[in-house]
């Protein structure tokens, strides 16, 4: 059976963890250990499945390219004190605001860095909207207005009732494809309410643009590694907002300084992508631009909608390196 996108992503996480270990073996004084966990076993199983399908070679090459770049940028990996522990995190960590898939930890001095592993895409955190989710409070720390909930609650309640009625009558759960005008009926009004509320929040709270980016990228600095199978390259981006990346170790410094990124202070533009009925574009100062596509995460109707968020552009000061393999 072919690998699912989720399995492929998990296999890539495992390949990145092993690549870090292999590149450092014999080069660092302390022990290198891999933390046993259910998340590790899930990733390892996915990698073994990729091996059986003949798909692991690209994953290994892409992961080795990422490891070469990150080790050059992080002297603590090679020259830090104490043992180095390598961890694969659970998906629940991402929900809690930690988007790192692989974490490298030196507990002797409290140092760690994380890696977010992406296979052929640049997506960041996925979030939902529903009748009960206060995205303002959850995302940027400012509650949404009653006006927003008055606009979206009836729409999500319609979806809830469709599902509940089918269950009550013993019928198959209704499908999104059964709604011919789902974009016009649900996507567009929900997105219009979302846009109006985000603008209101920003007008009254000047730190909303920066809080939005912090929420989408997670609470920790990390390296984002993105494979490009078509061009046989791995792109490494240093998401260094708090300034925790690129630390020196025992007199050893990276030959490259990784800049601390500036967060946005205002929205330049917020609106629908031209000719789209389900995708927004948000343009900020400091070079940040993102798109937010809303969709039904399941083929069956449920009373929520999910965002697929893509970073379209990043500040020009970001350290990004493309490593061929």
pLDDT band at 310 (very low <50, low <70, confident <90, very high): confident
Does one domain contain both 111 and 235?
A: yes
pLDDT tens figures, 148-172: 999 999 999 999 999 999 888 888 8
| DSSP notation for 218-251 | -SS-EEEEEEETTTTEEEEEEE-SSS-SS--BTT
pLDDT tens figures, 190-233: 999 999 999 999 999 999 999 999 898 887 899 999 999 899 99
Does one domain contain both 29 and 172?
A: no
Q: What total number of domains does the chain contain? A: 2
Does one domain contain both 256 and 206?
A: no
Does one domain contain both 72 and 86?
A: yes
Position 52 pLDDT exceeds 70: yes
Write down the pLDDT at residue 218.
Answer: 80
Does one domain contain both 52 and 178?
A: no
Domain with 291, as residue range(s), is 128-213+263-313
Does one domain contain both 58 and 175?
A: no
Does one domain contain both 148 and 225?
A: no
Does one domain contain both 224 and 248?
A: yes
pLDDT tens figures, 92-126: 555 556 789 999 999 888 899 999 987 655 556 67
Q: How far is CA 243 from the centre of its chain?
A: 19
Does one domain contain both 92 and 223?
A: yes
Write down the pLDDT at residue 93.
Answer: 52
pLDDT band at 237 (very low <50, low <70, confident <90, very high): very high
Does one domain contain both 206 and 304?
A: yes
Does one domain contain both 54 and 69?
A: yes
Does one domain contain both 77 and 194?
A: no
């Amino acid at each position: 059976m072919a690998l699912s996108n989720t399995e492929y992503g998990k296999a890539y996480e495992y390949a990145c963890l092993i690549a870090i270990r292999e590149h450092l073996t014999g080069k660092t004084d302390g022990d290198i250990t891999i933390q046993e966990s259910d998340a590790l076993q899930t990733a390892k199983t996915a990698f073994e499945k990729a091996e059986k399908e003949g798909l692991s070679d690209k994953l290994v090459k892409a992961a080795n390219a990422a490891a070469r770049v990150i080790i050059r940028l992080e002297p603590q990996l090679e020259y830090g004190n104490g043992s180095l522990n390598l961890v694969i995190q659970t998906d629940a960590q991402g929900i809690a605001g930690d988007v790192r898939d692989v974490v490298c930890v030196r507990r002797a001095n409290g140092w760690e860095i994380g890696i977010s592993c992406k296979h052929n895409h640049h997506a960041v955190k996925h979030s939902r909207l529903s009748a009960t989710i206060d995205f303002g409070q959850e995302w940027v720390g400012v509650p949404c207005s009653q006006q927003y909930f008055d606009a979206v609650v009836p729409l999500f309640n319609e979806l809830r009732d469709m599902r509940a009625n089918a269950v009550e009558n013993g019928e198959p759960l209704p499908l999104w494809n059964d709604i011919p005008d789902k974009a016009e009926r649900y996507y567009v009004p929900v997105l219009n309410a979302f846009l109006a509320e985000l603008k209101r929040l920003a007008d009254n709270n000047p730190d909303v643009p920066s809080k939005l980016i912090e929420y989408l990228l997670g609470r920790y600095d990390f390296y984002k590694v993105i494979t490009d199978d078509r061009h046989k390259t791995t792109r490494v981006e240093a998401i260094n907002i708090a300034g925790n990346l690129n630390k020196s170790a025992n007199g050893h410094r990276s030959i490259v300084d990784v800049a601390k990124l500036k967060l946005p202070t205002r929205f330049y533009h917020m609106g629908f992508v031209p000719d789209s009925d389900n995708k927004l574009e948000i343009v900020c100062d400091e070079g940040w631009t993102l798109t937010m596509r809303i969709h039904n995460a399941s083929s069956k109707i449920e009373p929520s909608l999910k965002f697929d968020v893509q970073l379209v552009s990043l500040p020009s000061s970001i350290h990004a390196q493309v490593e061929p393999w």
